[in-house]
Amino acid sequence: MNALAATNRNFRQAARILGLDSKIEKSLLIPFREIKVECTIPKDDGGLVSFVGFRVQHDNSRGPMKGGIRYHPEVDPDEVNALAQLMTWKTAVADIPYGGAKGGIGCTPKELSTSELERLTRVFTQKIHDLIGINTDVPAPDMGTNAQTMAWILDEYSKFHGHSPAIVTGKPIDLGGSLGREAATGRGVVFATEALLAEHGKSIKDMTFAIQGFGNVGSWAAKLIHEKGGKVVAVSDITGGLKNPSGIDIPGLLTHKDTTGKLANFSGGDALDPNDLLVHECDVLIPCALGGVLNRENADHVKAKFVIEAANHPTDPEADEILSKKGVIILPDIYANAGGVTVSYFEWVQNIQGFMWDEDKVNNELKKYMTRSFHNIKNMCQTHNCNLRMGAFTLGVNRVARATLLRGWEA
């Protein structure tokens, strides 16, 4: 089941649990605006090349729309739509004053030079500058984009609207980016894990962890878990996998990966087939990479007691059912990986105030938001007698529905 179908299914189930009126249920699914633009740029060799750019703005009942821009060959309007909708529920679960959006350009970034990427980003910004805004829609980086991409968008947007650092988040620190943004998603995952384990009378230092994906999110989560005394027994990424039952030396592994670019040949552990990571012996499994990795083929063999969804949509609905029957507790992506968008919100707040915070304040505020959201989700679970995924979805959908009704949506 793809991301769009799964998101719609979760939304409908939440709407049913909440007893939403069918008219409001229908209106909440319909995006506010879908934008499609043609971006033609001169290539370095003098030829012309054209790319299609999208921006889906899903809902603005709770505040400006927020979501990433991805540069990827398979930027599919359906997927962008699903991810925009997911951002609406995610920002509501995190209780930050945003709605959802998502965008992208169908291109292969590694086939373009830096100057071609800059031209493409600027043309895309020129085409959408009057449809985004500090109080309208605030983009951020996603797959294939980074702080540099945000810097170009900021510069191009500012040519039309004057200096506007709050137009994008995930910027370089020198241009108004927030301290702590880089680690935010991984750190949020760890705060979420702490909140869940505390509920079960456990803490990170008592547990063993397996982490799939060792990019930004996975490596930060591993580093912070290691610092808190947790034992990371297995990690993997596209380059390979590594296991060590007595715990991997994470700082050493990070240094090794920085120098060699891969996990393989690290002396502090044995090679592990990346496909076996998900079914590796551990207490807590953290998928930080792609969607749909837990499915009906492997779900039955998962040995972890807790699954923390750091990736978007890593568990497909069939796996969800199998794992629930086994008594595995799943912390849903819509909450577990919300650390990134929460610190993006802090960045936007700092830019609007023109007053920057130190890193401790960013991290303390993040912990406060993540912990509070967990307790709000647990309250929904108790009220509606449902699992954590439905607790999170009912919390998010209910907040958006209430805002929509209060604003008067039938007028």
- Residue ranges of the annotated binding site for substrate are 66, 90, 344
| Catalytic site positions | 102
Binding-site residue positions for NAD(+)? 185, 216
Pick from 196, 213, 391, 222: nearest CA to 305:
196
Let me know: does 100 contact 397? Beta carbons within 8 Å.
Answer: no
Let me know: does 304 contact 329? Beta carbons within 8 Å.
Answer: no
The 3-state DSSP composition of the chain as helix, strand, coil percent (nearest 5) reads 50, 20, 30
Q: Residues near 5 by Cβ (< 8 Å), separated by ≥ 6?
A: none
* Ramachandran assignment for 77, one of left (phi > 0), alpha (psi -120 to 50 degrees), beta (any other): alpha
Integer angstrom CA distances of residue 34 from 8, 37, 59, 102, 149: 18, 10, 11, 10, 22
Let me know: does 58 contact 65? Beta carbons within 8 Å.
Answer: yes
DSSP string for residues in 16-72: HHHT--HHHHHHHHS-SEEEEEEEEEE-TTS-EEEEEEEEEE---SSSSEEEEEEEE
Q: What is the DSSP letter of 356?
A: P
* Tokens encoding 308: 């923390």
Binding-site residue positions? 66, 90, 185, 216, 344
* Tokens encoding 173: 């620190």
Let me know: does 18 contact 400? Beta carbons within 8 Å.
Answer: no
* Tokens encoding 227: 């610092």
Residues in the chain: 411
Distance between CA atoms of 233 and 250, rounded to whole angstroms? 10
